[in-house]
Amino acid sequence: MASSGSINPISKEVSFSDLGISMTPHPVTGKLTVKKNAEAVVSAIKNLILTNRFERPYDPLFGSDVKNRLFESFDTIEQANIERDIQTAIENYEPRVTISDITVVARPDSNRVQVGLSFFIVNDARPVEVGLEIERTR
Amino acid sequence: MAANNALQLTSVDFDGIKNDLKTFLSNQTELGDYNYESSTMQILLNLLAYNTYRNSFYLNMVGNEMFLDSAQIRSNVVSKAKMLGYTPRSVVGPEAEIQVTISPGGSPSVITIDANTVFSASVDGRNYVYTNPKSLVVNANASGVYSGKLPVVEGRPLTHRFTVSSASPVRYVIPNDNVDTTYLTVRVQESSSNTTTTTWTQSTDITGLTANSRAYFLSENEDGRYEVKFGDNVISKQVNDGNIVLVGYRVSTGLDSVGANNFTSSTTMGGYSNYTLRSTIASTNGSNRETIDSIKLNAPRSYTAQNRVVTAADFRTSILSYFTDLQAVSVWGGEENDPPIYGKAFISTKPKSGLYISDNRKNEIKNYLKDKTILSIDTEVVDPTYLYIRPAINVTYDPDDTTSTASGIASGIESILTSFETNNLNLFGKDYINSDLAIDIGNVNSAIKSTRIDVKLEKENKPITTTSARYNISFNNRIYHPHKDHMYAVASTSFTYQGRPCFFDDDGNKALRIYTLGAGNQRTYVNKNAGKVDYTTGRITIDDILISAYEGDAITFLVDPDIDDIKPQRNQIILFRNARINVVNAETNNLEASVSNVTTTGTSTTTAALNSQSATVGLYSAVY
């Protein structure tokens, strides 16, 4: 006979930790700030989207090429291309997330593209949303 | 037991280094995202791995370039060779000879053609400059014709001046990439006001140099240019402030103009403009600048020889590195000669173009070796001798297995014969292996069902037609002679003996005979003891007889070899000649294609005249 008593639900702690890309020290401790869980994954996705292909040595397919596409004339086809690039990059290089939505909105007057991402981190039911504004710098 | 948490960097490729870093991080507890390509940790890992990889690559390159065997950059190879006392060969301009016939319109006592008179020759539509390194004095002959043979060399002669100054020292680098150092001259003028000049000589070692020796050293510098260096008043004399160094040299195009024979000139010859030019020796010899591979090969061997020649390998290396027009050298001691001639070293050379070198070139080789050989060793330079294989090739083919015709198959076999001769024979020490040729022929077409090659050996002898002499014809391979009384192992082409056209054969018991052909090809023997045939050593000895004429360029001797694999000895080179190809239909047994006298290198070779060969033991053709 099974013993009676309450059993707490099993929760699997998903723990991701990473350094901030800006490498800024903590204002109080002076140590590098560490990003954890969703914050770390969001940071990684930003790295991925903002890297052009052929930019990383020995891994030429890493990146999304969005920055390169900012120099193209923007239309619905280009919009779809950017969405596809981002999706492919995340599927290939970020196994920690499942994408639920990608939106790309052009801001031609300010030479920008606004990217909206909605995704789930594996084993986490809470949706995460990220907004990025990508701007031509030259 | 504690885990080894130290960073291991044992890999040399990028991914390996990165994995080493990941392994290291996996043993740390602070950070965990090193496994995800898009994480910031990965950016740092990439940076570290890339930096480590670059460092290991550079270290590998530096390591490679430190050793002569693995260095790839010319300046490094040359630098390593320099430490072995080896100076790479420069480009060498080809040489030619022009017959200059001048019609002065008067009768001057002599006409002097100045050195460095410019001639022009065209090869493949490009013009090349030839000049004569030395002046030529032309005398009138008995008919009053002023004519002389003028040696010319390809390349423009140039002189460069350097002023010696300890305040602002200069390196005496010859400012040209294609310098032919063969004709390099270094003179030192006292000063700009004192034009007294002295000629300095090149030294390749410091043996015998004193503080007063006017010697210079030549080396290739880091830019691939030749640099002249002087002594320090301890080892050879030093140049002083105010001296002017005059470096004379030629700039050559190397092998590009080999074969030039259409010389013209727009200048006068000895001041006379009415002259004719005729090429007597087309442009030959010459070489391009020594390659990196060649330096790697020759430098250690040159060092081993220590500028002396003792072993056969020393001779070969030394001669080949100095005489750039030679393709191959064979060297053997007199004790290995047949017959042995003690106290001599025999050298045989094969030029890159042509079959034989001139007697002048032989003397140059002898003189070059004079100070390098050990005492009591005399050198003798002899021509190569050509041993010809006459292959009779019979193949059967199945016409159902191919779209080629019998003629097409025969043509393919012709090509194989030519390439086999070029690649497997035609040099000293290259054996003929019958089965190798059979395999190559079998691969010509898959329809070939069988290949049979019967070989005979040919050797030529060019006798003296004015006086009686003894001759040796050495095949150096056993002659087929299965039993006593097996006659006619030897055959020959026709020659004139005692006023009659005759031939050689043997009696089957080692006696060489001379016969004439009568009615019905009946052999009538004129001399039944004209010499000896040694079937074991493959040598035919002809006794003291006078052969007053012969058919063709030489008397050809023909024998059957005991085995079909033929080995050359000493200065022998094997070639194909008079090859015959028969292609038989395997279904009908009909001969469908036949080719005779296939054109090979051996077809066009000629035998050197005996009077240019050694006769040191009173026996012509002694060196074979």
pLDDT of residue B413: 92
Residues of chain B found within 8 Å of residue A56, distances taken between Cβ atoms = 46
Name the β-bridge partners of B574. Answer: B387
B343 touches chain A (CB under 8 A): no
A62 within a domain of the structure (yes/no): yes
Helix axes B434-442, B406-424, angle to 10 degrees: 140
- CA distances to B310, B333, B334, B349, B570 from B377, in Å: 10, 10, 10, 19, 18
Estimate the share of chain A in helix, then strand, then coil, as percent rounded to the nearest 5. Answer: 30, 30, 45
Sign of CA dihedral B241, B243, B244, B248: negative
Establish if A64 touches chain B: CB-CB under 8 angstroms. no
Cβ–Cβ gap A18/B14 under 8 Å? no
How far apart CA B138 and CA B194 sit, in angstroms, is 35
Contact check, Cβ <8 Å, B46/A57: yes
| Pairwise CA distance, residues B27 & B14, whole Å | 21
Please name the member of B33, B37, B50 whose beta carbon is closest to the beta carbon of A62.
B37
A58 touches chain B (CB under 8 A): yes
Residue type for B310, please?
A: V
Cβ distance of A58 and B33 shorter than 8 Å: no
CB A44 to CB B33 under 8 A? yes
Q: Is residue A21 part of a domain?
A: no
In angstroms, the Cα distances linking B296 to B64, B81, B291, B322 are 14, 8, 9, 15
Residue in B33, B37, B46 closest to A18 by CB:
B33
pLDDT, residue A6, reads: 55
Hey, which residues does B21 pair with through a beta bridge?
Answer: none
pLDDT at B54: 92
Q: Strand B197-202 and strand B146-154: pairing? A: unpaired
- Residues in chain A within 8 Å Cβ distance of B31: 17-19, 34
Say which residues have a Cβ less than 8 Å from residue B255's Cβ, sequence separation at least 6. B94, B286, B287, B288
Chain-chain contact of B32 with A15 (C-beta, under 8 angstroms): yes
A17 to chain B, any CB pair closer than 8 A? The answer is yes
Q: How far is A59 from chain B (nearest CA, A)?
A: 10
A25 within a domain of the structure (yes/no): no
Q: Is A115 on the interface with B (CB under 8 A)?
A: no
Q: Which of B39, B51, B54 to mutate to test the interface with A (most CBs of A within 10 A)?
A: B39
Please check whether residue B404 is in contact with residue B585, taking contact to mean a CB–CB distance below 8 angstroms: no
Does residue B115 belong to the interface with chain A, where contact is any CB pair within 8 Å? no
Residue A91, domain extent: 31-135
8 Å CB contact between B394 and B582: yes
| A15 close to B (CB below 8 A) | yes
Whether A36 is covered by a domain: the verdict is yes
- Determine whether the interchain pair B40/A43 forms a contact, defined as Cβ–Cβ distance below 8 Å: yes
Determine, for residues B14 and A47 on separate chains, whether the beta-carbon distance falls below 8 Å. no
pLDDT for B615 equals: 35
Dump the DSSP string for B444-488. Answer: T-TTEEEEEEEEEEEEEE---SSS-EEEEEE--S-B---STT---
Rounded CA separation B500/B551 (Å): 12
CB pair distance less than 8 Å for A47 and B33: no
Q: Is B312 exposed, middle or buried (0-12, 13-18, 19+ CB in 10 A)?
A: middle
- Using a CB-CB cut-off of 8 Å, the residues of chain B touching A36 are none
Q: Is B299 within 8 Å of B81 (Cβ atoms)?
A: yes
For residues B1-26, one letter each, b for 16 or more C-beta atoms within 10 angstroms of the residue's C-beta and e for the rest, the string is eeeeeeeebebeebeebbebbeebbe
Strand partners, B501: B496
Q: Which residue of B has its CA nearest to A95?
A: B36
d(CA B39, nearest CA chain A) in Å: 4
Q: B51 Cβ partners below 8 Å, 6+ apart? A: none
Q: Quick one: pLDDT at residue B622? A: 35
**Residues in a beta bridge with B474:** B539
* Chain B residue whose CA is closest to A97: B36
Listing DSSP states for B194-235 in one string gives ---EEEEEE-SS-TT--TT--EEEEEE-TTS-EEEEE--SSS
Cα–Cα distance for residue pair B470/B619, rounded to 1 Å? 6
- Chain A partners of B32 at a C-beta cutoff of 8 Å? 15-18
Q: Does B44 touch chain A (CB under 8 A)?
A: yes
CA distances for B502 relative to B457, B506, B539, angstroms: 20, 13, 20
A66 occurs within a structural domain: yes
Residue A16 in any domain: the answer is no
Whether A90 is in a domain gets the answer yes
Tokens, residue B362: 């032989």
Q: What are phi and psi of B582, to 5 degrees?
A: -120, 130
Structural element, H or E, at residue B512? strand B511-517
Hey, is the C-beta of B39 within 8 angstroms of any chain A C-beta?
yes
Q: Is residue A13 part of a domain?
A: no
Least CA distance to A20: which residue of chain B? B40
- CA-CA distance, B575 to B355, in Å (whole number)? 12
Count how many domains chain A has.
1
Please list, in sequence order, all residues whose beta carbon lies within 8 angstroms of the beta carbon of residue B523, skipping any fewer than 6 positions away. Answer: B505, B515, B516, B517
CA dist B463 and B468 (Å) reads: 9
Task: Measure the CA–CA gap between A130 and A116, rounded to whole angstroms.
Answer: 6
Nearest CA in chain A to B30: A17
In Å, how far is B24's CA from the nearest CA of chain A? 16
Query: Consecutive 10-residue runs of chain B (624 residues): their mean pLDDT?
Result: 65 88 80 77 90 91 93 94 90 92 88 93 93 91 87 94 92 93 93 94 82 92 93 92 95 91 92 92 88 90 79 84 84 83 87 80 87 81 89 91 89 90 86 90 89 91 86 89 89 90 91 88 89 91 89 88 89 88 90 85 61 35 37
Q: Do B32 and A16 touch (CB under 8 A)?
A: yes
Residues B98, B149: contact at Cβ < 8 Å? yes
Q: How close does chain A come to B1, measured CA to CA in Å? A: 28
For residue A37, the domain's CATH number is: 3.10.450.40
CA distances to B7, B16, B27, B31, B33 from B3, rounded to whole Å, are 12, 21, 8, 18, 21
- Strand bridging mode B495-497 / B500-506: antiparallel
A88 in contact with B at a CB cutoff of 8 Å?
Answer: no
Q: What are the distances in angstroms from CA B597 to CA B386, B414, B514, B606?
A: 17, 10, 27, 16
Q: Nearest CA to B155 among B224, B94, B96?
A: B94
At A7, the pLDDT band (50, 70, 90 cuts) reads low
**Beta-carbon separation of A17 and B44 below 8 A:** no
Higher pLDDT, A65 or B174: B174
User: What is the radius of gyration, based on Cα positions, of chain B?
Assistant: 33
User: Do B38 and A93 count as a contact with CB atoms less than 8 A apart?
Assistant: yes
CB pairs under 8 A between A and B: 59
Asked if A94 lies within 8 A of B32 by C-beta distance, the reply is: no
Q: How far apart are CA B556 and CA B553, in angstroms?
A: 9
Phi-psi group of B88: left, alpha or beta (phi > 0 → left; psi -120 to 50 → alpha; rest → beta) = beta
Choice between B609 and A137, residue whose per-residue pLDDT is larger: A137
Question: Which residue, among A13, A14, A15, A17, would best test binding to B if mutated, counting the most B CBs under 10 Å from its CB?
Answer: A17
Q: Inform me whether the C-beta atom of residue A32 falls under 8 Å from chain B C-beta atoms.
A: no
Q: Is A70 on the interface with B (CB under 8 A)?
A: no
| Partners of residue A62 in chain B, C-beta under 8 Å | 37-38
A19 interfacial to chain B (CB closer than 8 Å): yes
Q: What is the pTM of this model?
A: 0.59
A91 touches B: beta carbon within 8 Å: no
